[in-house]
Amino acid sequence: MWGFLARAAESKTPTRIQREKTGLILKAALEVFSTYGFRGSTIDQIATEAGLSKPNLLYYFDSKEAIHALLLEHLLDTWLDPLRALDPKGDPVSEITGYVIRKLELSRDYPRESRLFANEILQGAPRVMGLIKGPLKTLVDNRAAVISDWSKSGRIADVDPYHLIFSIWATTQHYADFDSQVSAVLGDAAERRFEAAADYLTTLFTKMLLPSAG
Amino acid sequence: MWGFLARAAESKTPTRIQREKTGLILKAALEVFSTYGFRGSTIDQIATEAGLSKPNLLYYFDSKEAIHALLLEHLLDTWLDPLRALDPKGDPVSEITGYVIRKLELSRDYPRESRLFANEILQGAPRVMGLIKGPLKTLVDNRAAVISDWSKSGRIADVDPYHLIFSIWATTQHYADFDSQVSAVLGDAAERRFEAAADYLTTLFTKMLLPSAG
Amino acid sequence: MWGFLARAAESKTPTRIQREKTGLILKAALEVFSTYGFRGSTIDQIATEAGLSKPNLLYYFDSKEAIHALLLEHLLDTWLDPLRALDPKGDPVSEITGYVIRKLELSRDYPRESRLFANEILQGAPRVMGLIKGPLKTLVDNRAAVISDWSKSGRIADVDPYHLIFSIWATTQHYADFDSQVSAVLGDAAERRFEAAADYLTTLFTKMLLPSAG
Amino acid sequence: MWGFLARAAESKTPTRIQREKTGLILKAALEVFSTYGFRGSTIDQIATEAGLSKPNLLYYFDSKEAIHALLLEHLLDTWLDPLRALDPKGDPVSEITGYVIRKLELSRDYPRESRLFANEILQGAPRVMGLIKGPLKTLVDNRAAVISDWSKSGRIADVDPYHLIFSIWATTQHYADFDSQVSAVLGDAAERRFEAAADYLTTLFTKMLLPSAG
DNA sequence: AATGAATGAGTTTTCATTCAT
DNA sequence: AATGAATGAAAACTCATTCAT
């Protein structure tokens, strides 16, 4: 678990200080990378944000790349958890709207993670294409099959499961990734943007999925 | 209109060669900036892409920043055109699904512009916040009012017009901004992603907007 | 011919300034590398020695490695010229003693080149092993065959041609590579070290090669 | 004798553990310094090679420089032993060819020591010039006088004793210092390089020294 | 209008050494 | 005696921008 540490490789168990400093650095790096992108961020910024000297930061991580890579790796897991939680045995519509709500909560609670990921994908995913074509695609394929079954059995409307998933990702992550625009456009109403989005998106996807009467 | 030119102060009207080179540079800069972000791009890359020498490029533009600023400025106009085209006198549902389709076409035909803009918003819109709080917000407020009227008159379902617009932006731009992910997940089906998205999104927003029977 | 230049790759003919500066840099680099070794030398030292700023030096060469590589490449040619000049049709003893003298002259006139090469070989030839196993070995094999023929025909004494060549290299290059020691040991006599060495080595190799009477 | 120890000032006699660790460090340092040169070697490399932590290594030695200095000091003694052993009362030719063989054995058995020394001399002997101008020169002067006497008495041919010594050093140390080149050129024959060199060099110096008949 | 040349201010590391325990 | 932690000083580049022609 600590194999990513420059120094920790040598010692089996990380010390308390290692855990603390590593955490500090990752927190600072997330802040900086998610705001300025990989190339736009400097180790100096991250070190300052973390309250460390530059060489001290590099004592814990081998390189700027290594910090970024670790962040992305951790991130993808968290990011996919809600989709994993989609229960094939649950009620289709509530499973999916529940998924929407959980993704929206991630956007509200972890906007920096969302932006870090968005930044990466935007640039063609040079550092995470492997994860996308591997674990991410596998999971999506699997859940798309579940949704497809629901469609075929008539429990939800006929829908392209992949594009359904894309639209859920797009609409929920929008509130994290494009928050500066959303908040600017909403003005005073920005305060309640997540509640309003929850209502709106629940309706949107419920209407989309309700099997047509008849 | 040529105020952005470094040398333009000296001559009222740009020569043909000025127009050509400026166009070349902007085209190259769009390519580069949209792929690597502002900080991740170098003037050298842009100059090479444009087939110019670095100093020659800087003969036409004062700075890297200036090229970027001009690109964004031009961009926003194009970006908002479809929304402007939303006709208060048209049929509400087809006006809105028409808007969706036009936005999706922009994502298909101008993905680099979309990514450039997304990059900027992601980073907190440091260079375009003025435009967002100004012209963009004004236009959105105006169209939201139109949609709101449609809702109140019962011609479309009751819907939060701002979040409706956000969801249209999010879902359509997703196919440009997150294309690397979309295409990787879809695999072979990626080829028809825009046609499939058009179908899916038309259904999605049509269902959302159809006034409930009764 | 100018392909090694960072900038020159773009232009067919090097300008006068390029030729001058490139020459200056190579001269300075030879001085510095031959004294401190590759790792012990800094670009700053070379730039200062050449009277340039560090970035200016890097305008002409892509990297420290590139300068070093070019020096070694040029060097090996010069270094092997005397061996190439060994004439199979000449008088065996005078051909070889002539070779000794020419090598000794190289040590006298180009001691820095000799030391640069020695430094490289000493560290296991990490950057020139290819040249050694290729062109250098080919040439040596070829001349060893010539010497071998001379031995077999009885025109010189029976001798292992490879070790003969090694001993010529060793004894002549010693006056360049180990000059600090040679001069320190000789004291006042150091002034005439090359003349004395020429006499001594001529005798040494003449005695070695004279076919035994019989 | 333990004055070089950082901590030795505190204790008169080194403990067993001090002796062991010091030995380990010197062994490791020889390996590393002889391969990469002084500036090209890092304390980390040496510490790793010695199986110690960096600060622990610096507990035993004050600095990188101190380790290097001690190595060179020890080295010179070993290096000059064979020359010291040259017996004025022995048979001149066998004394000298014996010296050649012993030096060649040192090259075979202690190539790293040879390269460490060569590295130092190549760079102008900045750290051992004192030793060279002192003990080394004294010894060489002394043995040169012996050889000179042998020449004058007609027991060996007339020869410049200094250049004779230089040529012995050069030819024998060549097999350690330039081994990468020697082995590459010899190819398969490299395996027997030391035996072949012993034969060749014995002949070379015997022919050189045999008093001319008459 | 164009370009070869030059540079100051970064930016990512590296490394000998010190500190605290 | 040993080591995890920390750092100042360097070192190899990079890059937007300027200068001279």
Orientation of helix B43-50 relative to helix B16-40, angle to 10°: 140
Radius of gyration of chain D (CA): 20
Tell me the pLDDT tens digit for each residue of D20-79.
889 999 999 999 999 999 999 999 999 999 999 999 999 999 999 999 999 998 898 888
Mutation for testing the A interface, residue in B75, B163, B199 having most A CBs under 10 Å: B163
Per DSSP, C128 falls in state: T
pLDDT of D210 above 50 = yes
Taking the CA of residue C15 and the nearest CA in chain D, the distance in Å comes to: 35
pLDDT at D8 over 80: no
- Whether D1 shows a pLDDT value over 70: the answer reads no
Q: Give the CA-to-C1' distance from A44 to F7 in angstroms.
A: 14
d(CA A82, CA C182): 77
Judge contact between A97 and A205, C-beta under 8 A.
Answer: yes
Model confidence at C2, pLDDT cuts 50, 70, 90, reads: very low
Which residues have CB under 8 Å from D129's CB, separation 6+? C180, C184
pLDDT exceeds 80 at position B35: yes
Task: Give percent above pLDDT 90 in chain C.
Answer: 86
Residue A193 has pLDDT above 50, yes or no: yes
CB A48 within 8 A of CB A61: no
Q: Of residues D3 and D37, which shows the higher confidence score?
A: D37
Residue nearest to nucleotide F8 (CA to C1'): A55
Q: Look up tokens 């094999």; give the residue.
A: C141
Buried b / exposed e along B154-177 (16+ C-beta atoms within 10 A): eebbebbbbbbbbbbbbbbbbbbb
Q: How buried is residue D20: exposed, middle or buried, by Cβ count under 10 Å (0-12/13-18/19+)? A: exposed
Q: Inspect the interface and report whether the beta carbons of C129 and D197 lie closer than 8 Å.
A: no
Taking a contact as any Cβ pair under 8 Å apart, which residues of chain D between 119 and 138 contact chain C? 119, 121-125, 129, 132-133, 136-137
- Cα distance from B98 to chain A (closest Cα, Å)? 18
Cβ pair D129:C164 closer than 8 A: no
At A20-68, the pLDDT tens digits run 999 999 999 999 999 999 999 999 999 999 999 999 999 999 999 999 9
- Report whether A8 contacts A14 (CB < 8 A): yes
What the block records as the tokens of D102 is 């012993």
C32-62 per-position pLDDT tens digit = 999 999 999 999 999 999 999 999 999 999 9
| Cβ count within 10 A of residue B15 | 9
Which residue is closest to F17 in terms of CA–C1' distance? Answer: B63
- Count Cβ–Cβ pairs < 8 Å, chain C vs chain D: 161
Rounded, the Å distance between the CA of C42 and C1' of E12 is 17
Is there a contact between C183 and C190 (Cβ–Cβ < 8 Å)?
Answer: yes
How far, in Å, are A30, C29, C100 from residue C206 at the CA level?
76, 38, 10
Enumerate the nucleotides of strand E whose atoms come under 7 Å of any protein CB.
1-20
The model's pLDDT over A99-118, given as tens digits with 9 standing for 90+, comes to 999 999 999 999 999 999 99
Between the CA atoms of A126, A131, A132 and A134, what dihedral angle is there, to the nearest 10 degrees?
130
d(CA A109, CA B30): 33
Q: How confident is the model at residue B14 (pLDDT cuts 50, 70, 90)?
A: confident
C119-171 pLDDT tens trace? 999 999 988 899 999 999 999 999 999 999 999 999 999 999 999 999 999 99
Say if residue D7's pLDDT is above 50: no
The structural domains of chain D, ordered by start, are: 7-67 (1.10.10.60), 69-213 (1.10.357.10)
- Within residues 23-62 of protein chain D, the ones with CB less than 7 A from nucleic strand F are 52-56, 59
From B18's Cα to the closest Cα of chain A, the distance in A is 31
Whether A9 has a pLDDT exceeding 50, the answer reads no
In this complex, the chains that touch C, judged by 3 or more CB pairs closer than 8 A, are D
Closest residue by C-alpha to C1' distance, nucleotide F2: D56
Which of A73-87, C74-88, C177-191, C200-214 is most confident? C177-191
For residue D5, what are the β-bridge partners? D61
- Residue corresponding to tokens 């709080």: B133
Q: Which of D164, D173, D178 sits opposite C121 (nearest CB)?
A: D178
Q: Do chains C and D touch (3 or more CB pairs under 8 A)?
A: yes
Confidence (pLDDT) at D14: 72
Phi-psi region of B37 (alpha: psi -120 to 50; beta: other; left: phi over 0): left
SS3 category, D160 = coil
Within 8 A by CB and 6+ apart from B58, the residues are B6, B43
Q: Which residues contact B34 (CB under 8 A, 6 or more apart)?
A: B111, B112, B113, B115, B116, B119
Phi, psi (degrees; rounded to nearest 5) at B125: 55, 40
Distances (CA, A) of D28 to C207, D51, D106: 44, 9, 19
pLDDT band at C3 (very low <50, low <70, confident <90, very high): very low
Q: What is the DSSP letter of D61?
A: B
Question: What pLDDT does residue A197 have?
Answer: 98
d(CA D96, CA D174): 18
Is B163's Cβ below 8 Å from some Cβ in A? yes
Chain A residues with CB under 8 Å of B203 CB are: 159, 208
Phi, psi of B128 (to 5 degrees): -130, 15
> Which residue, counting CA atoms, is nearest to the C1' of nucleotide F10?
C42
What ranges in C110-192 are assigned the alpha helix state H?
A: 111-122, 129-131, 137-152, 161-177, 179-186
Measured CA to CA, the distance from residue D94 to residue D100 in angstroms comes to 10
C145 CB contacts (<8 Å, ≥6 apart)?
C161
| Three-class secondary structure of residue C21 per DSSP | helix
Task: Identify nearest nucleotide to residue C53 by CA to C1′ distance.
Answer: E7
Would the pLDDT of C6 be above 60? no
- Chain D residues within an 8 Å CB radius of C169: 174, 178
pLDDT at B213: 61
Spatial separation of the C-alpha atoms in residues A8 and A22, rounded to whole Å: 10
Q: How far apart are CA B27 and CA B14, in angstroms?
A: 18
**Cα separations (Å) of A214 from A91, A122, A154, A210, B207?**
20, 43, 11, 12, 16
CA distance A117 to A26: 15
Assign A127 a pLDDT band (cuts: 50, 70, 90).
confident
Of B38, B125, B174, the CB nearest to A166: B174
Considering only alpha carbons, which residue of chain A is nearest residue B213? A213
Cβ separation C180–D136 shorter than 8 A: no
Cα separation, C72 vs C209, in Å, equals 32
Please say whether the beta carbons of A110 and A176 come within 8 A: yes
Chains B and A touch (3+ CB pairs under 8 A): yes
Cβ burial C111-127 (10 Å sphere, 16+ → b, else e): bbbbbbbbbbbbbebee
Q: What is the mean pLDDT of chain A?
A: 92
- Determine, for residues D200 and C167 on separate chains, whether the beta-carbon distance falls below 8 Å: yes
Most confident of the ranges A210-214, B35-39, B99-103, B120-124: B99-103
Distance CA C167, CA D204 (A): 9
Q: Which of D37, D124, D170 sits opposite C123 (nearest CB)?
A: D37
CA distance B97 to chain A (A): 14
Confidence tier at C12 by pLDDT (50, 70, 90): low
Q: Do chains B and D touch (3 or more CB pairs under 8 A)?
A: no
Q: Is the CB of B69 under 7 A from strand F?
A: no
Q: In whole angstroms, what is the distance from residue C206 CA to residue C97 CA? A: 7
Tell me which protein residue sits closest to nucleotide E5, measuring alpha carbon to C1'. C56
The answer to whether the CB of C75 falls within 8 A of the CB of C113 is yes
